[in-house]
Chains A and B, each alone.
Chain A
Amino acid sequence: MASHDATAGARPAHRRLGAVRPRRGEAAGKAVLALCAFLSILTTIGIVVALLEPALEFFTEISPVEFYGGTDWAPLFEPARFGVLPLIVGTLKITVIACLVCVPFGLGAAIYMAEYARPAIRSVLKPALEILAGIPTVVFGYFALTLVTPLLRDIGIHVDVFNALSAGIVVGVMLIPTVASVSEDAMQAVPAGLRQGAFGLGATKFQVSTRVIVPAAISGIIASFVLAISRAVGETMIVAIGAGLLPTMTLDPRLQTETMTAFIAAIGIGDVPTGSVEYKTIFAVGLTLFLITLALNLFAIRMVRRFREVYE
C-alpha cells in the first residue's frame, strides 16, 4: 500500500452533500410512463360508461325480462321484438365450433414446436403461423363463404349458404396461431431440468410432453384458450359474412345464424336514427357481450389459479 499521506493532498476538500432538489425530467418521465400503463384501464372504464348509459335507457323502455327471456329477435320490424337469446345462441355456437378447432390444433402445434420440431423446422413454422394471424378477418370471412361452405357441401354436409359451421371453423382456424404461439411460449418457459428429469426416468418424448411439460405450462396454455375464446366471442367480420344476419333460435350449426357482433355491425352501418330504441339496442347487446367476456375472463383466472403447477 502507498502511503496515506501521498493521496491526502490530491483530493479537494469535502463539499457538503446537496439538499433534495426537484428533477423535473424524472417526474415527467414517470408521468408519461404511468399514463401508458393506465391508458388501457381508462379506456375500459370509458367504454363501460359509454355503454352503460344508453343501455340503461334502453332497459327503461324494454324490460330486461323481455330482453333476456325472449326468443324472438326482430328489433327493426313492426311490431318489434327484443328477445336477445337467438343472438347469444348464435355467438355461443360460433365460439364452441371455433374452440373445437383451435384448441386441439393450436395445442398440437404448440407441443410440436416446443418439444419435437428441430430448430430449422421451427424457424419456418413460427413465422408461417404468424402470417396466418396477420390475415385480415374480412378475408377469412370470404374464405368461409366461398371455400369452406362449398367444401362442406362437397363432403355431404347440407349447410345453408350462410351457416354457423363454416364461419365457426374459419374463426377456429384464424385462432390456431394465437393458441399455438401463447402455449408454445409457456412450454418453452418450463425449466430444462424438468425435461431432463423426465427423460432420465425413461419417459418417451410424448410422455414428457403430455405428463410433465403441458401440466407445468398449464396456466399459460389456459390463458391462450381464454384469449382465443374472447376473440371468438368478439369476432365480427367472419361471422357477418360467413354465418349471415338472420337470427335463429337453433343449435343446428348448418343453418344461417346471427351473432351479437354481427348484429351490432349491421345496425351500425344501417340508417337507424340516433336516439331511437332500435339504436339503443346496440348498446344493450354490446353491454351483454361485454359482460359475457368479463365472466369468461374471471372464470379463466380462477381455473388458472386452481390448476397451476408452480415450478420454481
Chain B
Amino acid sequence: MDATAAPIRIGADPGMAASPALPPPEAREIVFGVRGASVHYGTHLALRDVDLDVYRNFVTAFIGPSGCGKSSFIRCFNRLNDLIPTARVGGQITYHGEDLYAPAVDAVEVRQRIGMVFQKPNPFPKSIYDNIAFGPRVLGMKGGLDERVEQALQRAAIWDEVKDRLKTPALSLSGGQQQRLCIARALATDPDVLLMDEPCSALDPIAPAKIEELMLELRRDFTVIVVTHNMQQAARVADMTAFFTVEVGDEGRRTGILIEYDETARMFTNPQDSRTEAYVTGRFG
C-alpha cells in the first residue's frame, strides 16, 4: 500500500496526541465521505444528520456517551446494518467517491474490502490457523496461505505468541490475545479499512495498551476507524475525533447526533462546542 500519504509519526509517544505532523486538510485523501447520514431501526431514529470525512491512513475515533449511535454509525461503513432486517441507512456515504449504498454495490464485497473488529473478541471455534485463513478461504485466494497467515499474525503483533501453536484452538488464548487474533483475522484479506467497535472494552486493563500500540502501527498501511467510550484512548491513538451525543426528543426517544469533528489535539485542548468540552473534561457522560 502507498505509504507516502501516511503521516509519519511511528515511534512517537502515544500519550502525545498533539500531532504537528498531521498533513494539512488539502493534502488528505478522503476514504469515506459522509453526508446527512442517518440510521433508523424500524421507526426509531438512532442517529441523524451526520456529515464528516474519514481520511486515508488516519486513525479516526468516534466517541460519546452510551446510546449516541456511534456503534450504529460504524456499522454503516461495511454495510453490517444490512443484516438487521429493520435497519435503514439514510443520507449518503461514499467510499473512494463511490456511493456505498448504490443498488449495484455488493455488500459482501464491501465487507471483503473493509474489515471489522468487534467489541467482544469473537474467534471462531477453530484453530488459530483456521481463524486467520477463514477470510482468504472464503474469498478463494489461491496459494501462499501459510505466508498470508503469518503476515497477518505479524501485523497484529501476535505472531511470536502463537507461532508454535497454530493448530491449537483459538479459544485457548487470553481475551487480549483473542482480540489481536481477531484483528489479524480481519487483516488477512488485506482490507483497505479496519473498523474497530470498542475493541478494548471487554478486555482486562493490560491488554488495551497493546491494541492501542497496534492501531498506531496499523495506520501506516490501513485506514482505521475506532469507536470508543474511553476518551483517553481516543486522545492517545486518534488523529481525528468525532464527538457524538444523545438528543432526547418527544416521548423520550433518543437520537444520536454529531456535535463536533476535528483533529484530536484540538478537540481535546480547544473544543468548539460546550457539550464537547463538558464531555472531554469529564463533567458529563
A32 within 8 A of B: no
A203 within 8 A of B: yes
With both chains docked as a complex, state the minimum distance between the C-beta of A192 and any C-beta of chain B, in angstroms: 9
How far, in whole Å, are A193 and B202 apart by their CA atoms in the complex? 13
Flag B64-92 by CB within 8 Å of A: 1 or 0 each: 00000000000000101001010000000
Nearest opposing residue in chain B for A212, CB measure: B124
Is the pair A197, B83 in contact by a Cβ cutoff of 8 Å? no
Is the pair B122, A194 in contact by a Cβ cutoff of 8 Å? yes
With both chains docked as a complex, state the minimum distance between the C-beta of A64 and any C-beta of chain B, in angstroms: 45
Taking a contact as CB atoms closer than 8 A, the residue among A193, A202, A207, A211 that contacts B118 in the complex is A193
With known contacts A118-B85, A198-B124, A203–B78 Cβ distance under 8 A: no
Is the pair A310, B125 in contact by a Cβ cutoff of 8 Å? yes
With known contacts A196-B83, A211-B138, A204–B124 Cβ distance under 8 A: no
With known contacts A207-B138, A211-B134, A200–B124 Cβ distance under 8 A: no
Interface centre among A195, A199, A310 (most CB of B within 10 A): A199
A66 within 8 A of B: no
With known contacts A196-B83, A197-B118, A207-B138, A202–B126 Cβ distance under 8 A: no
With known contacts A193-B118, A196-B118, A201–B134 Cβ distance under 8 A: yes
Interface residues on B, range: 20 to 34
How far, in whole Å, are A203 and B116 apart by their CA atoms in the complex? 13
With both chains docked as a complex, state the minimum distance between the C-beta of A93 and any C-beta of chain B, in angstroms: 37
Q: Which of A180-222 contact B (CB under 8 A)?
A: 191, 193-204, 207, 211-212, 215-216
B189 within 8 A of A: yes
Taking a contact as CB atoms closer than 8 A, the residue among A191, A193, A198, A309 that contacts B134 in the complex is A198
Nearest opposing residue in chain B for A203, CB measure: B138
With both chains docked as a complex, state the minimum distance between the C-beta of B254 and any C-beta of chain A, in angstroms: 23
How far, in whole Å, are A311 and B118 apart by their CA atoms in the complex? 16
Is the pair A216, B85 in contact by a Cβ cutoff of 8 Å? no
Is the pair B186, A201 in contact by a Cβ cutoff of 8 Å? yes
Is the pair A216, B116 in contact by a Cβ cutoff of 8 Å? no
B228 within 8 A of A: no
Is the pair B139, A193 in contact by a Cβ cutoff of 8 Å? no
Taking a contact as CB atoms closer than 8 A, the residue among B118, B139, B169 that contacts A200 in the complex is B118
Q: Is the interface of A mostly helix, strand, loop or mixed?
A: helix
Nearest opposing residue in chain A for B125, CB measure: A309
Residues of A near B186 (CB, < 8 A) are 200-201
Nearest opposing residue in chain A for B137, CB measure: A211
Is the pair A199, B83 in contact by a Cβ cutoff of 8 Å? yes
How far, in whole Å, are A198 and B111 apart by their CA atoms in the complex? 10
Flag B113-136 by CB within 8 Å of A: 1 or 0 each: 101101010111110000000110
B147 within 8 A of A: no
Residues of B within 8 A of A (CB): 78, 80, 83, 85, 108-113, 115-116, 118, 120, 122-126, 134-135, 137-139, 169, 171, 182, 185-186, 189
How far, in whole Å, are A215 and B169 apart by their CA atoms in the complex? 14
Residues of A near B138 (CB, < 8 A) are 198, 201-204, 207, 211
Nearest opposing residue in chain A for B195, CB measure: A200
Taking a contact as CB atoms closer than 8 A, the residue among A195, A202, A309 that contacts B109 in the complex is A202
Residues of B near A212 (CB, < 8 A) are 124, 134
Q: Nearest 4 pairs between A and B by C-beta?
A: A202-B112, A309-B125, A193-B122, A200-B116
Taking a contact as CB atoms closer than 8 A, the residue among A197, A199, A202, A312 that contacts B124 in the complex is A197
Is the pair A311, B185 in contact by a Cβ cutoff of 8 Å? no
With both chains docked as a complex, state the minimum distance between the C-beta of B28 and any C-beta of chain A, in angstroms: 26
With known contacts A197-B118, A201-B115, A215–B125 Cβ distance under 8 A: yes
A-B contacts, 9 listed (Cβ < 8 Å): A193-B120, A194-B125, A200-B78, A201-B111, A201-B112, A201-B186, A202-B111, A216-B124, A309-B125
How far, in whole Å, are A119 and B189 apart by their CA atoms in the complex? 33
With both chains docked as a complex, state the minimum distance between the C-beta of B219 and any C-beta of chain A, in angstroms: 20
With known contacts A193-B118, A310-B171, A311-B125, A200–B85 Cβ distance under 8 A: no
List 18 other contacts, CB 8 Å, given A199-B83, A309-B124. A193-B118, A194-B124, A197-B123, A197-B124, A198-B124, A200-B116, A201-B115, A201-B134, A201-B185, A202-B108, A202-B139, A202-B189, A203-B108, A203-B138, A211-B138, A309-B126, A310-B125, A311-B171
Residues of A near B83 (CB, < 8 A) are 195-196, 199
With both chains docked as a complex, state the minimum distance between the C-beta of B135 and any C-beta of chain A, in angstroms: 4
With both chains docked as a complex, state the minimum distance between the C-beta of A261 and any C-beta of chain B, in angstroms: 38
